[in-house]
């Protein structure tokens, strides 16, 4: 283990070279760190702004060794890093944060919901589904409809299908490829909210203001922060996030997605053990944004302030929408972030904009 806090000039290793890695690298550079990116793609968005780029599969022993050799601490920006990669880094004596346990729980929706309930964070009702018979049993026990989700690998609403009754069980099971799943009761939410928070190496925590998130076709479209909420909801959100961070003995930034029901009850949907799309507004809305906060946390630095300096609406630029950069760059209230991705496939996150207005008094 290195001595924390890591001094400027140290190198931060990152597994994954997408936009989250890119914004982490930019934040790290601001604090005087170098960054090493490991990604299978030669042209990864983060690799192009980093001091070191290692092009290798996530489970390639040589690539992981090269990353460990050059890095003082290693983190990840991609949630589907194979667990074996973190095991290998641990064998090499690398300091990894967040740790393999947090990643392993977040990678498996069944383990995640089981963990959350065990830690005192409420979720929707759920059942493990390993066969059509399990799915029928879940429909009988929990009622219809149920949202069937693959336990692993889903993102941006992929790997999910509603099942409206026993008659649709076989089709739904097959549509998801007959792999281990979890079936969830409908969340019946009034709105979706998220909390991005950080825990430092000495256990201190810092929460950003509550964010209201709007999904379209399973993809985050827009996030608004700070979101107004009753003091009871704010306190409950804070309690839930603090509980999760403590139960994981977590180091770094986490994104916790929640459903707010009509009666104000909060249910945790899922958490991401990394910087989160619902926290992109902090880039322009806070003194210390979520990317710098994550670097601070894993480097053992003090956490920075998280208050909002403005009201922010973040909008993802999906696919061709990023082609409007000329127009967006002309809007004085709009801060434009582009990820340097080549191909504008439909639904692909190409960038985002933060639109700032003064905080209501
Ligand atoms: N149990 C549920 N009931 C109702 N809507 C849900 C439920 N689970 C997920 N959703 C909707 O689908 C979106 C994506 O689901 P989520 O579990 O967050 O998967 P992903 O990993 O793709 O983000 C959620 O943000 C929410 O809008
Ligand atoms: Mg989600």
Report whether residue 35 contacts ligand 1, using a CB cutoff of 6 Å: no
For 261-280, write each residue's pLDDT tens digit: 999 999 999 999 999 999 99
* Under 8 Å between Cβ of 193 and 213: yes
Question: pLDDT 10s per residue in the chain (361 long)?
Answer: 889 999 999 999 999 999 999 999 999 999 999 999 999 999 999 999 999 999 999 999 999 999 999 999 999 999 999 988 998 999 999 999 999 999 999 999 999 999 999 999 999 999 999 999 999 999 999 999 999 999 999 988 899 999 999 999 999 999 999 999 999 999 999 999 999 999 999 999 999 999 999 999 889 999 999 999 999 999 999 999 999 999 999 999 999 999 999 999 999 999 999 999 999 999 999 999 999 999 999 999 999 999 999 999 999 999 999 999 999 999 999 999 999 999 999 999 999 999 999 998 7
Cα 80–Cα 81–Cα 86 angle in degrees, nearest 5: 145
Q: What is the pLDDT of residue 1?
A: 80
Domains and CATH numbers, the chain: 11-96 (3.40.50.20), 125-184 (3.30.1490.20), 189-357 (3.30.470.20)
- Minimum-distance ligand to the CA of 215? 1
Q: Look-up: residue for tokens 């290798």?
A: 56
Sheet of strand 160-163: strand arrangement: 126-129, 181-184, 146-150, 160-163
Distance CA 58, CA 266 (A): 36
CA gap 66, 52 in Å, rounded: 10
Q: In whole angstroms, how large is the CA radius of gyration of the chain?
A: 20
List the residue whose alpha carbon is closest to atom 6 of ligand 1: 187
HEC profile of the chain: CCCCCCCCCCEEEEECCCHHHHHHHHHHHHCCCEEEEEECCCCCCCHHHCCEEEECCCCCHHHHHHHHHHCCEEEECCCCCCHHHHHHHHHCCCCECCCHHHHHHHCCHHHHHHHHHHHCCCCCCEEEECCHHHHHHHHHHHCCCEEEEECCCCCCCCCEEEECCHHHHHHHHHHCCCCCEEEECCCCEEEEEEEEEEECCCCCEEECCCEEEEEECCEEEEEEECCCCCHHHHHHHHHHHHHHHHHHCCCEEEEEEEEEECCCCEEEEEEECCCCHHHCCHHHHECCCHHHHHHHHHCCCCCCCCCECCEEEEEEEEHHHHHHHHHHHHCCCEEEEECCCCCCCCCCEEEEEEEEECCCC
Using the mean position of ligand 2's atoms as its centre, give its distance from the Cα of residue 150 in Å.
Answer: 13
How do residues 137-178 score in pLDDT, each as one tens digit?
999 999 999 999 999 999 888 999 999 999 999 999 999 999
pLDDT tens digits, one per residue of 121-138? 999 999 999 999 999 999
Verify whether ligand 1 is closer than 6 Å to residue 147 (CB atom). Answer: yes
Residue-wise pLDDT for 329-338, tens only, equals 999 999 999 9
Q: For residues 360 and 49, what is the distance between their CA atoms, to the nearest angstrom?
A: 37
Ligand 1: residue of 218, 221, 258, 347 to mutate (most ligand atoms within 8 A of CB) is 218
Upper half-sphere CA count for residue 70 (Cβ side, 13 Å): 20
Q: Provide the 10 A C-beta neighbour count for residue 171.
A: 11
What pLDDT is recorded for position 34? 98
Burial of 232 (0-12, 13-18, 19+ CB in 10 A): exposed
Contact status, residue 314 vs residue 222, Cβ threshold 8 Å:
yes
Ligand 1 pocket, residue 112 CB under 6 Å: no
Residue 138's φ and ψ, nearest 5 degrees, are -65, -40
Q: Which atom of ligand 1 is nearest to the CA of 187?
A: 3
Dist. CA 194 → ligand 2 center (Å): 10
Question: Residue 189 CA: which ligand 1 atom is closest?
Answer: 4
């Amino acid at each position: 283990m290195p001595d924390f806090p890591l001094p400027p000039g140290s190198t931060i290793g990152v597994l994954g070279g997408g936009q989250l890695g890119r914004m982490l690298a930019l934040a790290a550079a601001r604090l005087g760190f170098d960054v090493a990116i490991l990604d299978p793609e030669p042209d990864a968005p983060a690799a192009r702004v980093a001091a070191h780029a290692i092009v290798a599969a996530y489970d390639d022993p040589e690539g992981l060794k090269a990353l460990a050799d050059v890095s003082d601490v290693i983190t990840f920006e991609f949630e589907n890093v194979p667990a074996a990669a973190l095991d290998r880094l641990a064998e090499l004596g690398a300091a990894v944060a967040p740790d393999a346990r947090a990643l392993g729980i977040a990678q498996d929706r069944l383990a995640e919901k089981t963990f959350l309930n065990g830690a005192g964070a409420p979720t929707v009702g759920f059942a493990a589904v390993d066969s059509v018979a399990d799915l029928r049993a879940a429909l009988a026990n929990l009622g219809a409809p149920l949202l069937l989700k693959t336990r692993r690998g889903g993102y941006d609403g992929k790997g999910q299908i509603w099942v409206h009754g026993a008659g649709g069980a076989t089709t739904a099971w097959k549509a998801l490829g007959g792999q281990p799943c979890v079936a969830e009761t409908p969340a019946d939410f009034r709105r979706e909210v998220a909390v991005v928070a950080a825990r430092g190496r000495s256990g201190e925590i810092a929460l950003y203001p509550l964010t209201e998130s709007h999904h379209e076709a399973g993809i985050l479209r827009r996030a608004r922060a700070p979101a107004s909420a009753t003091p009871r909801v704010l306190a409950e959100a804070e309690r839930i996030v603090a509980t999760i961070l403590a139960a994981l003995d977590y180091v770094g930034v986490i994104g916790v997605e929640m459903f707010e029901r009509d009666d104000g009850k909060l249910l945790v949907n899922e958490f991401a053990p990394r910087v989160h799309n619902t926290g992109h507004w902090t880039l322009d809305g806070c003194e210390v944004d979520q990317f710098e906060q994550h670097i601070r946390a894993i480097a053992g630095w003090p956490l920075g302030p998280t208050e909002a300096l403005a009201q922010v609406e973040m909008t993802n630029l999906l696919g061709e929408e990023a082609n409007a950069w000329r127009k967006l760059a002309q809007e004085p209230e709009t801060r434009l972030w582009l990820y340097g991705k080549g191909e504008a496939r439909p639904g692909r996150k190409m960038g985002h904009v933060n639109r700032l207005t003064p905080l209501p008094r």
